[in-house]
Structure 1
Amino acid sequence: MKFVKKKTFYSRKEKAAETKNKIYISAEQLFSRHGFKAVNVDDIVKHAGVAKGSFYVHFESKDFLIAALINDYVTKVDIDYRAYLESLPSDMPANDALLSLVGKIAEVITESISCENMRILYKIQIGKDIKTNAVIDYNRELYKLFYDVINKGMNQHVFQSDLPMEEIARHFVTAYRGLTFEWCIRYPDFDLKEQALRHFKILLTGINSPSNLKY
């Protein structure tokens, strides 16, 4: 009997995990197709083929589900950014590598995420009721990417600064977050990629070595 009970317990656990996965995948597909705002819980459970009550067993609200999706997406996209950075020629000057990364991030934000979804993300982050640690954690891979490019520039003697490289990296990410917010409030009259490249060229003048002042 003990074996039967244990088997039943695991069957229920597996079924619950399967239901949660259906909801997650359905939400991911619908959000990708229609955006966060246009999709409600009824749409998600209908697409997943599960009862509405099942949704609230696994997710406190739509915003909590969005946060889970965002945290997973951030991890994935940072891996893609790392792969992109590593695909650049190893002898590329750090200035060019940094600007190339800046441009790539802008493309992902504008083409894959969208202004509407970024607005919702900012709303969730400002509210602080829902954890989006993967986005703001200083240990996030994005901070490490900027750190690595800055470190490369220091080793190439194209960058110089008395500030710790970690602090510079944080400033760069903060600047990008500000640019993205500006894009959200001025959309569509603000070209994120163009403005990001222009802004980072200005930032680079603060750490360029005297022999590398073309930026």
Structure 2
Amino acid sequence: MGSFYNCFKSKNEILDWIFKLADDYFVNDVAGKIKEGNTQGRVIRFFEYYADYNKERGIDFVKQLYTVKNNLFATKGRPMQNVLQAIIEDGQSKGDISTDITPEETVRFLFIAVRGVVYDWCLHDGKYDLTEAVNNYVKRLVKIL
């Protein structure tokens, strides 16, 4: 255990590393898998990957991340968000989704909602299927975009 703490000087460094791993996964793996289809379907698939990623980490791990002390969720322009923003921009340029709000605002809107679902999953100790819950929620959300 001591060698683990030799790699990181603080809890914030650990969180930075965890978020970088997630960003890398979305940029290097997910982005290429969700290039096809309509915008709404691509957004739904993006968040299916997001839910699966959280599930694979496990409820105890995710509970440690989902705290108000972790302000990394509020960081704008993260690579993971940029993957979703590119989908939104593409959808707006094709007329698939509204241009009433900017792509950045749309990304924030969607992440606020989905993080709420993940937080609820944590509150319920992972007792329901996160991917199914996120999928149902996002399917409703994309109808208003």
> TM-score range with shorter-chain normalisation?
0.7 to 0.9
Partner of 1:138: 76
What amino acid is the match of 2:42? A
Task: Give identity over the alignment, percent.
Answer: 17
Q: What SS class does the counterpart of residue 66 from structure 2 fall into? A: helix
Partner of 2:117: 179
Distance (Å, rounded) in 1 between the aligned partners of 2:55 and 2:126? 11
1:147 aligns with 2:85: yes
Partner of 1:196: 134
What amino acid is the match of 1:190? Y
Corresponding residue to 1:96 among 41, 57, 66:
41
Q: 1:68 to 1:163 in 2, by over 3 A?
A: same
The runs of 5 or more residues in structure 2 that have no matched partner are: none
1:68 aligns with 2:8: no
Distance (Å, rounded) in 2 between the aligned partners of 1:96 and 1:143? 17
What amino acid is the match of 2:37? M
Partner of 2:55: 110
Aligned length: 144
The runs of 5 or more residues in structure 1 that have no matched partner are: 1-43, 50-54, 208-215
If asked which structure has higher relative contact order (CA below 8 Å, sep 6+), I would say 2
1:148-196, Cα deviation, whole Å (9 max, x unpaired) = 1111111222212411221111011111111110000113322110010
Deviation (angstroms), 1:139: 2.1
- Alpha-carbon RMSD across the aligned residues, in angstroms, is 2.3
Corresponding residue to 2:23 among 67, 78, 89:
78
Partner of 1:167: 105
Superposed, 1:112-127 pairs within 5 Å as 113-123=57-67, 126=68
Which structure's CA Rg is the greater one?
1
Q: 1:87 to 1:150 in 2, by over 3 A?
A: same
Asked if 1 retains the 8 angstrom alpha-carbon contact of 2:36 and 2:42, the reply is no
1:68-100, Cα deviation, whole Å (9 max, x unpaired) = 222112112212112234323644212221111
- Greater than 4 Å deviation, 4+ residue runs: none
Q: 1:89 to 1:166 in 2, by over 3 A?
A: closer
Superposed, 1:27-46 pairs within 5 Å as 44-45=1-2
Distance (Å, rounded) in 1 between the aligned partners of 2:95 and 2:134? 24
TM-score by length of structure 1 reads: 0.60
1:37-83, Cα deviation, whole Å (9 max, x unpaired) = xxxxxxx12xx39xxxxx69x74xxxx33x32221121122121122
